[in-house]
C-alpha cells in the first residue's frame, strides 16, 4: 500500500532523548489518539510506531538505541549517501551494482592489484586511532601525534569518500599546494610526509605509495641529492676531539657519544651518569630521552668511545650541565676547530658515525642496533659508500694526544 504524503510544516515532538543515526522522529499527529511517533531502518524497510505520550516514545527510542548498539538495527542512509547512490545509479546506466562489482573485482585481480574499498576518511580515522594508542604508550611523542592528527584530518576532509588506492600523486600535490597555510617548502614537505606515513600504514592495500612519488621541495632536497651526506673528515674529527680534550674535557662523554656511538645531539645532551656504565661498558638509556621513546641498551659501543670518555666521565661538570650548556660548549669547540657556522649540522656527527661504521665493518644490522635505527635497509641505502673502509677503521682508532691534554 502506497503511503500517503503528509503535508509539510507539522512540528515534531520535543523529547529528552538524544537521537542517533538510524532513528528519526515523525511529524506530530495532532488529531490522533497516538500523536507521537518515530521510524527506523530495519531489514531494508522503515517501520514506524506511534505513542500516546512522549514518555512512551522516549522509552521506545531507548530500546531502539540499545538494539543499535548491538548491531541489530540498520542505519538510515544520510543525505550524502543517498546523493552518492543516485549518482552511481545514473553513471551505471542501468547495469546492476553486483555486475559492476564482480567485473571490478575480476579486473583488479587480473592486474595483480589488491581489492581496496577503503575510503580516505575511514583510513585516516583508523590510522589516527592506532597512532593515538602509540602516543598513549609513548611510542611517539604527543607533539608528533598532534601533527599527524591536524594534517591528516584536513586530508580526510578533502578526500573523504574517495577510495584510498585511487588517490594519485598529482591530486595530493595539488591539494597541498592549495592549502592557505602552505607558504614554505618545509611546510609542504611536512604535509607530504604525513600523507606518505598514512599510505605506508596501508602498504598491503596500496603497495605503491603515491605521496612518495611527489618530489620533496627545497634547494637541498632534490632526488639527486636528497641523501647527500656531508662528513667531517677523520682529520677534522681528530681536531674536534683534541680541542675538546684541551679546552673542555668534561664534555667528552657526551661529544664522543655522538662521534663513536651515533647518539643524537638531544640524547647526548640529556645523558646522565647512571646511563653510562664505564665498568661494564654499557649504555642504558631511558625512553624519555630517546627520539624513539623506547629504552635503548648499547653493549657494543666501539672501544674508542671509552678511551675518550674517561677524560671527563668523573667530572661533575659533565653531568650537571644543561642541554643549553652542552650546546654552547660544543659550539665553542667546533669553532676553535675551524668549522664554520654554515658547515655545522646538529646531527652531523651521528651521520658520520653511520657512514664510518658501515664502511669499517660492513654490518648494517650492528650499526642500526647501536643507533636504534628501525630501518636497516634505509640506513644501508643512505650511508653506504659515503666513506672508505680505510677511513672508517682509522676513525675508530683515534686516540687522545696525551701531550695536548691539560
d(CA 168, CA 188): 17
Given this model, what pLDDT does residue 77 score?
Answer: 61
Q: Is residue 285 helix, strand or coil?
A: strand
Stretch 75-90: mean pLDDT: 72
Q: Classify residue 379: in a domain, yes or no.
A: yes
Q: Are residues 354 and 252 in the same domain?
A: yes
Domain count, the chain: 4
Stretch 159-188: mean pLDDT: 84
Given this model, what pLDDT does residue 342 score?
Answer: 63
Q: Are residues 360 and 398 in the same domain?
A: yes
Domain that holds residue 197: 120-213
Q: Are residues 329 and 199 in the same domain?
A: no
Please check whether residue 40 is in contact with residue 85, taking contact to mean a CB–CB distance below 8 angstroms. Answer: no
Please check whether residue 20 is in contact with residue 68, taking contact to mean a CB–CB distance below 8 angstroms. Answer: yes
The model's pTM is: 0.50
Cell of 321: 650541565
Give 201-210 pLDDT, tens digit per residue: 888 778 889 9
Q: Are residues 137 and 100 in the same domain?
A: no
Q: Are residues 141 and 105 in the same domain?
A: no
Give 382-403 pLDDT, tens digit per residue: 888 889 999 999 999 999 975 5
Residue 72 has pLDDT above 70, yes or no: no
Q: Classify residue 86: in a domain, yes or no.
A: yes
Given this model, what pLDDT does residue 224 score?
Answer: 41
Which helix (H) or strand (E) segment holds residue 48: the answer is: strand 48-51
Percentage above 90 pLDDT, the chain: 37
Q: Classify residue 366: in a domain, yes or no.
A: yes
Give 233-286 pLDDT, tens digit per residue: 999 999 999 999 999 999 999 999 999 999 998 899 999 999 999 999 999 999
- Between 109 and 309, name the one with better pLDDT: 309
Q: Are residues 368 and 277 in the same domain?
A: yes
Q: Are residues 39 and 168 in the same domain?
A: no
Q: Are residues 245 and 393 in the same domain?
A: yes
Q: Are residues 103 and 132 in the same domain?
A: no
Q: Classify residue 370: in a domain, yes or no.
A: yes
Mean pLDDT, the chain, as a whole number?
84
Please check whether residue 305 is in contact with residue 260, taking contact to mean a CB–CB distance below 8 angstroms. Answer: yes
Confidence of residue 296 (pLDDT cuts 50, 70, 90): very high
**Burial of residue 1 (number of CB atoms within 10 Å: 0-12, 13-18, 19+):** exposed
**Burial of residue 394 (number of CB atoms within 10 Å: 0-12, 13-18, 19+):** middle
Given this model, what pLDDT does residue 349 score?
Answer: 94
Q: Are residues 135 and 284 in the same domain?
A: no
Q: Classify residue 4: in a domain, yes or no.
A: no
Confidence of residue 225 (pLDDT cuts 50, 70, 90): very low
Cell of 376: 636497516
Q: Are residues 242 and 150 in the same domain?
A: no
Amino acid at each position: 500500500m502506497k503511503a500517503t504524503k503528509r503535508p509539510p510544516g507539522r512540528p515534531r515532538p520535543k523529547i529528552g532523548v538524544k537521537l542517533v543515526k538510524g532513528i528519526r522522529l515523525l511529524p506530530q499527529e495532532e488529531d490522533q489518539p497516538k500523536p507521537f511517533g518515530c521510524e527506523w531502518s530495519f531489514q531494508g524497510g522503515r517501520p514506524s510506531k506511534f505513542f500516546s505520550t512522549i514518555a512512551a516514545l522516549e522509552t521506545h527510542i531507548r530500546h531502539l538505541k540499545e538494539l543499535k548498539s548491538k548491531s541489530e538495527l540498520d542505519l538510515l542512509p544520510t543525505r550524502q549517501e543517498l546523493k552518492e547512490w543516485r549518482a552511481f545509479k545514473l553513471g551505471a546506466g542501468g547495469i546492476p551494482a553486483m555486475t559492476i562489482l564482480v567485473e571490478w573485482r575480476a579486473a583488479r585481480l587480473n592486474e595483480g592489484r589488491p581489492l581496496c574499498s577503503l575510503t580516505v576518511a575511514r583510513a585516516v580515522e583508523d590510522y589516527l586511532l592506532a597512532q593515538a594508542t602509540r602516543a598513549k604508550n609513548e611510542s611517539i611523542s604527543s607533539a608528533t601525534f598532534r601533527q599527524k592528527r591536524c594534517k591528516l584530518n584536513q586530508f580526510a576532509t578533502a578526500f573523504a569518500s574517495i577510495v584510498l588506492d585511487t588517490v594519485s600523486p598529482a591530486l595530493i600535490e595539488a591539494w597541498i599546494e592549495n592549502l592557505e597555510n602552505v607558504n614554505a617548502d618545509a611546510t609542504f614537505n611536512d604535509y607530504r610526509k604525513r600523507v606518505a606515513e598514512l599510505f605506508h600504514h596501508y602498504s598491503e592495500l596500496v603497495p605503491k605509495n603515491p605521496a612518495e612519488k611527489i618530489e620533496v621541495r627545497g634547494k637541498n632536497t632534490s632526488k639527486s641529492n636528497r641523501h647527500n651526506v656531508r662528513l667531517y673528515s677523520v682529520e677534522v674529527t681528530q681536531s674536534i676531539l683534541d680541542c675538546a680534550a684541551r679546552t673542555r674535557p668534561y664534555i667528552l662523554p657526551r661529544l664522543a657519544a655522538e662521534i663513536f656511538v651515533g647518539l643524537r645531539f638531544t640524547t647526548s645532551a640529556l645523558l646522565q651518569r647512571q646511563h653510562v656504565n664505564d665498568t661494564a661498558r654499557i649504555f642504558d638509556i631511558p625512553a624519555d630521552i630517546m627520539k624513539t621513546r623506547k629504552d635503548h641498551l648499547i653493549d657494543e659501543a666501539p672501544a674508542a668511545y671509552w678511551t675518550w670518555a674517561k677524560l671527563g666521565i668523573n667530572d661533575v661538570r659533565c653531568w650537571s650541565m644543561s642541554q643549553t650548556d652542552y650546546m654552547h660548549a660544543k659550539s665553542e669547540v667546533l669553532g676553535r676547530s675551524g668549522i664554520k657556522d654554515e658547515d655545522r649540522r646538529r646531527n652531523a656527527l651521528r651521520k658520520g658515525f653511520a657512514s664510518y661504521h658501515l664502511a669499517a665493518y660492513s654490518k648494517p644490522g650492528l650499526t642500526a642496533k647501536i643507533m636504534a635505527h628501525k630501518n636497516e635497509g634505509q640506513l644501508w641505502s643512505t650511508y653506504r659508500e659515503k666513506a672508505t673502509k680505510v677511513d672508517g677503521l682509522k676513525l675508530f682508532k683515534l686516540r687522545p694526544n696525551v701531550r695536548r691534554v691539560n
